Structure 1
Amino acid sequence: MLAKSPTGTWLPAWVPESSALISVLLLFCAAVESSTNGFDGSLLNGLNVLKVYTGYFNLTPATQGLNTASVYIGKILGLTVAGVLTDRLGRRPTIFWSSIVSLIGIVIQSAAQNIAMFVVGRAILGLGSCWAGVASAVYLTETFSARWRSWGVAILQNFYYVGALLAAGVTLGTGRWNSTWAWRAPSLFQGIFAIICIVILPFIPESPRWLVGQGRPEDAHKVLAQVNARGNLQDPVVLAEYQMIVETLNYERAMAGRAPSLKDLIRTPVARRRLLIGSSPGLFSCVAGNIIASYYLGTELGAAGITNANDKLKANVVLNSWCLVCCLFGTQLAVRWGRKPTALTAQFLLTVFLMTIGGLTKKYSADPAGASNALVYGNVACIFLFQGAYSVAWTPLMSLYPPEILNFSIRANGVAVKQYANAIPALVLVYVMPIGLANLGWKMYIINASWNIVTFVLIAVYWVETKGRSLEEIDEIFEGKKKHETIEVLKSAGQLNILDHEMDLNKETVDVEVSEVKD
């Protein structure tokens, strides 16, 4: 059975009665961007190995980098409005339009007759996918059932490897075709995720926090009940979360005295601190060194001693299967162990593995003919271990950590900045990487490992732990107890109209508030 859910937008919703089913649909819909990105990276990994693709476009290292990196041109352009669209149109409509734009780009890319057409198609694809990247992370963080939020949001980015594995399998099959359909068919298949998203959207609710921000608290209450308690408005979990949301957003509105804007990102020292920490995963994950294996695995394997094209395509399948297992394990670590310890451990391992890959690649390049099988397979093993370590931390943390750090008024625009912090260096690195590998070889790995040490120090010094806290409780890390004092003042002045009930889920906060009222 389906029940109508208020959305506050032109896009209606009829959601299932089962809260568990709603959570599954939310996850699959929000995963469209990560799946598309994963498919794209693995697709280009496969295509860059195929002579029918490189020969069709007569690719040089420079034009190969342009073809591959052009998706980030669209992302950088699209991110200028991604946060604004997410806040003004709503989370669901933004995801809908992003899917439409992505499909247009995919069709143009698949039908490309020359490099210019291929680049334009990929730029449009990047434009659409970046809107989904901002909206989906914010949407899932704000809407997913409270009891499963950390798991659901962390798993969101894991779908990268679902898309990547699918692309690896498709290109392995079509790679044997002696026609342009060897690369056109898998490129066209990339649209499956956007289509799935469009089909699911009418059956999932709008973000309750966005609804409160639009002045529709009763609609938000109903959505919270549908997502958490099969529509029971009086469920204690629903009532507790509803009060926390309304209190927090009213507090932010009262303190700002205006509607949220882009200036809120840098208006106060606290906002600037949130922005720097919240956007850092975008930069840190991009410069960690995974771009080589994500887009130029064939070149990397060739430098390691694997020269057969079919063997490279098979390695692409195995690598993405391995990374999918690792990112699921990493989700467990991030939720149970903590965000910061997971990132630090993985960053240490990434540095060690990159140094090792650089050393083994140097030894192989000095005497390829005399290189032993142990050297070749040892290097390949280190490549797999490196990608596994990356997947353990950065795959789940990219979607989980930034929306937690950023409060409601800056969440959408802050996630857009995080995407900028990823897309701008990615555009440069994806373009220059084949040139760098061709000219510097093994030295590229050592250079990359060196700046990973800097990343490790920055995480250790500046990151804060968010494990085990609700979105509203995370605010206390940055705002302290001042927020609750202000809420009490607003309550006494009659400026907050919220439900009165026991806050069983947040007893510590309630005790603090009660003691403040007594004082």
Structure 2
Amino acid sequence: MAHRKISRFVPSDQKWLIACLIAVSSVDSVLVGYDSSLMGSLNVMPSYSSYFTLTTTTKSLNTAISYVGGAAISPLAGFLADWRGRRECVFWSALVTLIGGIIQGTAQNIGMFIAGRCIVGAGMGLAQTTAPTLVAETTPVKYRGFALGMYYSCWGIGTLIAAGICFGAAPSFVCFLILLFVPESPRWLISHDRHEEALEILNIVNGGDADDVQVQYREIADTINFEKEHSLGLVQAICKKSSRKRLLITTTFSAIVMLPGTNIITFYFGEILQNAGIQSPNTQLQINVILTSWSLVIAVISAWYTDLLGRRQLCSASLSLQTAFIFIFGALTKLYGESTNTSGIYATIAVIFLYNAAYNWGITPLTVLYPPEILSFEIRGVGMGIYTFATKCCGLLVTMAVPFGLQAIGWKFYMINGCFDVLMLVFVILVWVETRGLSLEEVDRLFDKEKREVVAEQVHEETKVDIEHKEC
């Protein structure tokens, strides 16, 4: 028996390895979901506001500062992932987030709290860049949609922890444990000339089918070699026409993820319910837990059935429903926000549930599925860093602008948001490309025909030589 190159902890069975990849995606999502949604729970707690003597400005700063940390680390995250590997960076992201959470949880003053939130944000930024890249590059095509769809679907579990018991150390420790059973990305290994390890991993994820392993290995290796031979450097790679289109779709997707209206509900749920006529903090927290549980169920079901619709169809349908619901929500807030009409208040809450269902059905499973699919290997690490940076900047805009917007113009803010959703819908219909069912190398055909033709010819010739060799 040949000496094993990869860790002995990595499962040799395909199903167990895929389960571990899905687990690292899910646990990392729980970690990110907890730390992102914690402020939604804290913002409706009078004890939190009184302890730190918060104003609208300081409340916005406390919520937004994690995005500053995430935005600061994101441009470096891609380089770190390409240099040290995807798996190692996931480990460091969990450690940084744990340290930041401890500082935040033991904060004695507002400065210490903000510092902890900023460190937490840096850890989340690194996690959101590297964990999806690792899972996308390692998981087989038939399982990729579910594995990456679960990343933000399990966000809801972290949100429930934040809304309920506010204890966040466990996800970091579980992440450390699961990483023992997860290998490095075979594509990263091939790019660093560690071919034997890559072949072992590809053999496991393909269920031991030698022919499939060899074809996939050659396709990956030839694609990476082509990129190395035809790229003068990262700047030149990013400046190529095909890469510009990939990065355009990726960065604008950040706005689709962060700005359709969902983060208004996530971070300022208390203010929204107050506008809808519900003043009790306990009632607000109860509704928040129910809403999060509802969103979690929808997201997990959607992740399982992600591949039933194409990526463009799924996003377009979700945005259409979100646009309709946010307009309805704005209208109901105008009519019943200051009233005691019980039916109107309940209708407003119902629309919040319908809006969250529309978002979690379509956008949640695509959040970290679509970007790594359309990015080529040569820019995937850096491209995911850019995507995370753009996402954090959009989050920063939301957290800093929303409270002042709601305070200044109330229900009209939702109408403006709805108009922006229409623009995003048009962009998706006109610009997005379909990637469902394609390997990461096959997606290159949609952007770079020359690369795809050259690689396909090389793979065909190498396969032909192998067949002739076997016949002899």
Question: Is the 1:39–1:166 Cα contact (8 Å) retained in structure 2?
Answer: yes
Deviations along 1:243-288, one digit per CA (max 9) or x if unpaired, are 22112112222222x5x63x14522111101111123221211111
| Matched letter for residue 399 of structure 1 | V
Residue correspondence of structure 1 range 137-216 to structure 2 within 5 A: 137-170=132-165, 186=166, 189-216=167-194
Shift of 1:218: 2.0
* 2:348 is the counterpart of 1:382: no
Structure 1 residue matching 2:9: 3-state secondary structure:
strand
Match of 1:252 in 2: 227
* 2:413 is the counterpart of 1:420: no
* 2:281 is the counterpart of 1:302: no
Q: Greater shift after overlay, 278-287 or 418-427?
A: 278-287
* 2:211 is the counterpart of 1:236: yes
Q: Greater shift after overlay, 310-319 or 160-169?
A: 160-169
Deviations along 1:190-218, one digit per CA (max 9) or x if unpaired, are 12111111112122111100001001222
Shift of 1:20: 1.1
| Distance (whole Å) between structure 1 residues aligned to residue 8 and residue 35 of structure 2 | 30
| Matched letter for residue 409 of structure 2 | L
What is the aligned counterpart of 1:316 among 283, 288, 305?
288
| Distance (whole Å) between structure 2 residues aligned to residue 279 and residue 265 of structure 1 | 17
What is the aligned counterpart of 1:429 among 398, 403, 412?
398
What is the aligned counterpart of 1:117 among 92, 112, 127?
112
| Distance (whole Å) between structure 2 residues aligned to residue 28 and residue 269 of structure 1 | 36
| Matched letter for residue 213 of structure 1 | S
| Distance (whole Å) between structure 2 residues aligned to residue 169 and residue 499 of structure 1 | 61
Shift of 1:482: 5.0
Shift of 1:300: 0.7
Match of 1:174 in 2: none
Question: Is the 2:151–2:368 Cα contact (8 Å) retained in structure 1?
Answer: yes
Q: Against the structure 1 CA distance between its residues 497 and 76, is the aligned structure 2 distance closer, same or farther, given a 3 Å change threshold?
A: farther
Q: Against the structure 1 CA distance between its residues 350 and 501, is the aligned structure 2 distance closer, same or farther, given a 3 Å change threshold?
A: farther
Question: Is the 1:279–1:415 Cα contact (8 Å) retained in structure 2?
Answer: no
Shift of 1:483: 2.8
Structure 2 residue matching 1:205: 3-state secondary structure:
coil
| Distance (whole Å) between structure 2 residues aligned to residue 501 and residue 414 of structure 1 | 38
Match of 2:251 in 1: 279
| Matched letter for residue 173 of structure 2 | I
* 2:303 is the counterpart of 1:331: yes
Shift of 1:434: 1.7
What is the aligned counterpart of 1:24 among 10, 19, 25?
19
Question: Is the 2:333–2:348 Cα contact (8 Å) retained in structure 1?
Answer: yes
* 2:453 is the counterpart of 1:484: yes
Shift of 1:442: 0.7
* 2:419 is the counterpart of 1:465: no
What is the aligned counterpart of 2:466 among 495, 500, 503?
500
What is the aligned counterpart of 1:60 among 43, 55, 58?
55
Shift of 1:145: 3.1
* 2:372 is the counterpart of 1:406: no
Question: Is the 2:30–2:154 Cα contact (8 Å) retained in structure 1?
Answer: yes
Structure 2 residue matching 1:385: 3-state secondary structure:
helix
Structure 2 residue matching 1:16: 3-state secondary structure:
coil
Question: Is the 1:139–1:207 Cα contact (8 Å) retained in structure 2?
Answer: yes
Percent identity of equivalent pairs: 35
Question: Is the 2:140–2:205 Cα contact (8 Å) retained in structure 1?
Answer: yes
| Distance (whole Å) between structure 2 residues aligned to residue 238 and residue 489 of structure 1 | 16
Match of 2:131 in 1: 136
Shift of 1:342: 0.8
State the TM-score, normalized to the length of structure 2: 0.94
| Distance (whole Å) between structure 2 residues aligned to residue 195 and residue 4 of structure 1 | 27
Structure 2 residue matching 1:266: 3-state secondary structure:
helix
Structure 1 residue matching 2:180: 3-state secondary structure:
helix
Shift of 1:486: 5.9
Match of 2:331 in 1: 359
Shift of 1:13: 5.8
Shift of 1:132: 1.1
Structure 2 residue matching 1:94: 3-state secondary structure:
helix
Shift of 1:479: 1.5
| Matched letter for residue 466 of structure 2 | D
| Matched letter for residue 125 of structure 1 | V
Shift of 1:401: 0.3
| Matched letter for residue 462 of structure 1 | V
| Distance (whole Å) between structure 1 residues aligned to residue 137 and residue 96 of structure 2 | 24
Question: Is the 2:254–2:394 Cα contact (8 Å) retained in structure 1?
Answer: no
Structure 2 residue matching 1:399: 3-state secondary structure:
coil
Deviations along 1:51-108, one digit per CA (max 9) or x if unpaired, are 1111100111111111111110100111121000000000111111111111110010
Q: CA RMSD in A?
A: 2.2
Structure 1 residue matching 2:154: 3-state secondary structure:
helix
State the TM-score, normalized to the length of structure 1: 0.85
Match of 1:392 in 2: 361
Question: Is the 2:9–2:181 Cα contact (8 Å) retained in structure 1?
Answer: yes
Question: Is the 1:165–1:320 Cα contact (8 Å) retained in structure 2?
Answer: yes
| Matched letter for residue 380 of structure 1 | I
Question: Is the 2:103–2:113 Cα contact (8 Å) retained in structure 1?
Answer: yes
* 2:74 is the counterpart of 1:79: yes
Match of 1:102 in 2: 97
Question: Is the 2:104–2:115 Cα contact (8 Å) retained in structure 1?
Answer: yes
Question: Is the 1:264–1:409 Cα contact (8 Å) retained in structure 2?
Answer: no
| Distance (whole Å) between structure 1 residues aligned to residue 397 and residue 237 of structure 2 | 25
